[in-house]
A and B are shown apart, each in its own frame.
Chain A
Amino acid sequence: MLIRRPADIPSSEITPESAYLNRRQFMGAAGSLALAGLAVPAVLGASRGPAEHGDAVGQAQDDKLTPEEDATSYNNFYEFGTGKDDPKRNAGSLRPRPWSVQVDGLVKSPKRWDLDELLRGLAKEDKIYRHRCVEAWSMVIPWQGVKLRDVLARVEPLPSAKFVEFTTLLDPQQMPGQRTGVLRWPYKEALRLDEAMHPLSLLATGMYGKTIPNQNGAPLRLVVPWKYGFKGIKSIVRIRLTDRQPNTTWNDAIPSEYGFYANVNPTVDHPRWTQAKERRIGEFLRRNTLMFNGYAEQVASLYAGMDLRRYY
């Protein structure tokens, strides 16, 4: 099995709340300047050009948290409707407890886990990640959860495992959107095993210091910050290890628009819009999109030698 040892995350990537609050005070002091709007073009100008060191540029940008209200009311979760405001309105029918996760395929002992049992004793992570939707909008969200690699270590993949497939709950009673045929249910997503083992890959159970709301993928969702948001599968009920690249929902639905890799890449346009820019929710001017969403330093090596135009 080829699992490259991923680079460690710089501590700047995981912002402790105290530091974040300090930064807010600093930002408050610098507020008048920022409000004057003078800083914005300067920052946009600074991040122009090839994003070889996208992460450094990303850190230089003002990544202030998206208001919780926005992050929990503007969602893509087709299981509850295709409008952005549908999930918040309709997700009340989801029952996030008790919840079990089937772990099977190429693992030492396939098993149906109770969610709390699966996560028991694993190190809790607090991570603030940029979230870039394939639709060219973005947010900054504080997540709580566990590293995906810690969960995988617990279930012990066999040496032959090369991919991890995730499946969302299939229950039209709880998920009324599944009564329509807009996508093929249940939703499936997958990562290469080395992507899954990367320390940035998170299984989130909370956001903004609270239990994750239903509309954001309760009780367990994937967060892979260098990929487009649709890779972040929600309300996971099954994790399957496999040796073949699994089919994934959006890739199956429209392969020309949504690739398996779906790495954030400003140089590869979506057929219907540019991916070079994004609108950060809450901001007026669009920002330049960063290679791997600003996480190039940590993840670019995963794709060394790959043609990212072909494997978009």
Chain B
Amino acid sequence: MSSFGRAPAVRRVGALLVWVAAVGPLPWLVWLAVSGGLGANPIESLQHRTGHYALRLLAASLTITPLRALTGWGWLVAHRRTLGLAAFAWAVTHLLVYVGLDLVLDLSQFLEDLVKRRYITVGMLAIALLTPLAVTSTQGWIRRLGGARWNRLHRLVYPAMIAAVAHYLWAVKKDVTLPVLYFLVVALLLGFRVVMRRRARSGVTARRADASFGT
């Protein structure tokens, strides 16, 4: 209750962080491109950077629920969609850099890659799984689907996240340090949900037991 007065400041900082994380990379990339900061192979650099932004934002969107549970900050949930949408936007940019700049719209090469290279296959799978989530991210769709169904649909973010990290793991040449780190983060985030759900279930049974004792 004493923290109530400070909440707006926390919320404002939280909102700022979310927006910087979501859109900040865009002016940063423009600056790097203009100043030559993308290095000797700018297309590869864009490719890697956009992929990293998508992965980080997707992981960030998955930290909202555990963070809310730990802090009790209900307002955090409003940012979950922002982060998820930004992750999707960067993932699509990542795909556009690949097809548009790297392959220069060589669609037969793209199809060959899609079939032959498993990291491309799972990468596309991740984007495909995220697409309905992005489409249904509006208030209108939440109303139309109803909260429960909307929530169920949006659990697709879990396989999408796993596919995205698998894409990264299979794309790197030899140094798997970062992909493995991502896998650990994902395991932590998903593990947290499993534990929460178990607790919630046992909590419910405990309360029922209490109730039967008439206290």
Contact = CB atoms under 8 A, between A and B. Distances in A.
A122 interface: no
A274 B109 contact: yes
A66 to B, nearest CB: 8
Interface in A16-51: none
Describe B's contact surface by its main secondary structure.
Answer: helix
Given A135-B173, A183-B174, A254-B174, A74 B117 contact: no
A286 interface: yes
B41 A279 contact: yes
A272 B117 contact: yes
A74 B41 contact: yes
A130 to B, nearest CB: 16
A281 interface: yes
A256 to B, nearest CB: 13
A183 B39 CA distance: 25
B171 A272 contact: yes
Contacts of B40: 69-71, 73-74, 84, 281-282
Interface residues of B, number: 19
A182 B39 contact: no
B104 A285 contact: yes
Nearest to A74: B40
Interface residues of A, number: 26
A182 B41 contact: no
Contacts of B101: 284
Contacts of B88: none
Contacts of B173: 82, 135
A137 B44 CA distance: 10
A78 B113 CA distance: 27
Interface of B: 39-41, 43-44, 101-102, 104, 109, 112-113, 116-117, 119, 170-171, 173-175
Interface of A: 69-71, 73-74, 78, 82, 84-85, 135, 137, 182-183, 253-254, 269, 271-274, 279, 281-282, 284-286
22 contacts: A70-B40, A71-B40, A73-B39, A74-B39, A82-B173, A82-B175, A84-B40, A84-B41, A135-B173, A137-B41, A182-B175, A183-B174, A269-B116, A272-B117, A273-B117, A274-B109, A279-B41, A279-B43, A279-B44, A279-B102, A282-B40, A285-B104
